[in-house]
Amino acid sequence: MKMKIKRVFLASDHAGFVLKQKISKFLIGKGIKILDLGTKSKTSVDYPDFAHLMAKKIKKNDNVGILVCGSGIGMSMAANRHKNIRAALCNNIKSAKLSRMHNNANVIALGSRLTKKDVALKCVNVFLKTPFDGGRHLRRIKKI
C-alpha cells in the first residue's frame, strides 16, 4: 500500500532543534509540504508537549510526522500514547524501512545525539518512500 502524503508534521525539543531544521530544509528541497510545530530554538523545553501536539495533529492516514529529541526514545514513547499513532524509533535505514513495511508507522522518531545528520536524512527519505506491505502485517497492526 503506497502512502499518500499530504503533509509532514515536524516537531522537536531543544536537543533535536538543529536536526529538525536540517530535516525541514531537506523536505522543502524535495517539494514536500511541512508544518513545523516547534520548538523554535535550543532553549530547554519538555519533549512530551511537542510529541502530544504532533499526535493530535495527525488525524488522517495521509499525514505523517517526524519527531526529534536527544535520543528519540522520549518522543516516541509520548507519541505512542495516542490512538492510531505508530511512532517508530529509527536509528538506521533498515529500521526506517521496516517500520513502514511491517508496522505501517506514521511517525518516525530520531535521536539527534545518536544518529548522524546524513543517516537521519536517509532514514526520513526511506520512511517517506516505503510502502506498507499490508497482508499479514495488517492483521498484526489491528491487534495493537
62-86 b/e (C-beta count within 10 Å ≥ 16 → b): ebbbbbbbbbbebbbebbbebeebb
Given 14, 52, 82, 102, the catalytic residue: 102
CA distances to 50, 82, 105, 140 from 13, rounded to whole Å, are 7, 19, 21, 32
Amino acid identity of 19? Answer: L
For the question of residue 102 being annotated catalytic, the response is yes
- Where in the sequence numbering do the catalytic residues fall? 102
